[in-house]
């Protein structure tokens, strides 16, 4: 398979989960395991451009696929607009759900760079966050959408914001 643009070849036990292969064989630990059952979305990666939950897939099922993880999202050091949005709009607290959330949001914006609040909320509802109440995640995705459209993002909504 190709991971973040690099060819990767390995022999693994057939039952090895894709997320464990990414984390433990490739040492890309930015992809997290939160529930092992596909509900929380912390393990979300892109597989052939689509967001998938890598805890409910075997590594061998990804044979030949093109995979992108959070570590590969920044373009030559420049943050992806969604990463920038999460930083600028306080879209994360503990950071554990964040890589999966960012991967889902990036996939959402790749399909539609001007989603409504409702479309954003439904677009990320497969990713659970226990810290932020999603309020600032929605603002972060709106920020990223504005950037991708070449528009000035709306000001943050907390007191004293610049």
Partner 1 sequence: MATTSVMGGDVRRREDPALIKGRGVYVDDLQPTGLLHVAFSRAPVGRAKIKSVDTSAASSMPGVVAVFTHDDVAELGPLVAQVPIGKLRPLLAAGEVNHVGEAIAMVVAENRYQAQDAADAIDVDYDILPAVIDLKEAKSDATKVHDELDSNVIHTWTYHGYWAALGLEDQTPQVDAAMERDDAVIVSIEMTNQRLIPVAIEPRSVMVEYNSGYERFTVHSATQVPHALAGAIATMFGMSPSDVRAIAPEVGGGFGAKLNVYNDEILAAFAAKKLGRPVKWTETRREAAGATIHGRGWIGTATLVGTKDGQFLGYKLEAIADMGAYSQNFTVAIPLLGLWVASGQYKMPVSWTVDCVVTNTMTTDAYRGAGRPEAIYYLERIIDAFAREIGMDPIEVRRKNFWQKDEFPATMGCGFSLDSGDYEAAIDKLIEVSGYEDLIRRRDEARAEGRQVGIGIGSYVEVCGFGPAVLAEIGFSWSNYGLPASFNGSGLVRVNPDASVTVVIGTGPTGQGHETTWAQIISDRLGIPWENVRVRHGDTQEHPMGIGTFGSRSISVDGAATYNAAEEIKVKAAKIAAHLLEAAPEDIVFEDGAAHVAGSPERSIEWTAIAKSAYQAHTLPEGVESGLEAHTAFSPGNATWPFGTHLALVEVDADTGDVEILEYYAVDDCGNRVNPMIVDGQIHGGITQGIGQALFEGAVYDSSGNLLTSSLLDYPLPTAADLPSFQLSHTVTPTDVNPMGVKGIGEAGTIGSAHTIVNAVVDALSPLGVKHIDMPLRPKRVWAAIQEASN
- Site of interaction with partner 1 (CB under 8 A): 13, 15-16, 20, 23-24, 27-37, 39-40, 42, 69-71, 73-74, 79, 83-84, 86-88, 90, 92-99, 102, 117, 120-122, 124-138, 156-162
Min separation Cβ 38 and partner 1, Å: 9
Of 66 and 71, the one with the shorter C-beta distance to partner 1 is 71
Assess contact for 1 and 28: CB atoms under 8 A. Answer: no
Q: Would you say 66 or 121 has its CB closer to partner 1?
A: 121
Q: In the complex, what is the shortest distance from the CB of residue 157 to partner 1, in angstroms, rounded to a whole number?
A: 8
What are 66's two structure tokens? 């093109």
Q: Which is nearer to partner 1, 1 or 17 (CB)?
A: 17
Task: Work out whether the CA dihedral 136, 79, 124, 118 comes out positive or negative.
Answer: positive
Give the nearest distance from C-beta 72 to partner 1 in angstroms: 9
Q: How far is the CB of 118 from partner 1 (least distance, A)?
A: 8
Distances (CA, A) of 25 to 8, 9, 21, 22, 67: 10, 10, 5, 6, 14
Tell me the torsion sign for CA atoms 87, 90, 91, 92: positive
């Amino acid at each position: 398979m190709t991971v973040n643009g690099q060819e990767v070849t390995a022999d693994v036990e057939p039952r090895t989960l894709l997320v464990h292969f990414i984390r433990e064989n490739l040492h890309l630990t930015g992809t997290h395991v939160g529930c092992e059952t596909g509900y929380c979305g912390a393990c979300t990666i892109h597989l052939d451009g689509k967001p998938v939950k890598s805890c409910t897939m075997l590594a061998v099922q990804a044979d030949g696929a093109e995979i992108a993880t959070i570590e590969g999202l920044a373009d030559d050091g420049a943050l992806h607009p969604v990463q920038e949005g999460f930083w600028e709009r306080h879209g994360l607290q503990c950071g554990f759900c964040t890589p999966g959330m960012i991967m889902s949001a990036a996939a959402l914006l790749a399909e539609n760079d001007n989603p409504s609040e409702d479309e954003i909320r439904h677009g990320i509802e497969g990713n659970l966050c226990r810290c932020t109440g999603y309020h600032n995640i929605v603002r972060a995705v709106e920020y990223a959408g504005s950037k991708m459209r070449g528009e000035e993002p709306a000001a943050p909504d907390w007191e004293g914001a610049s």
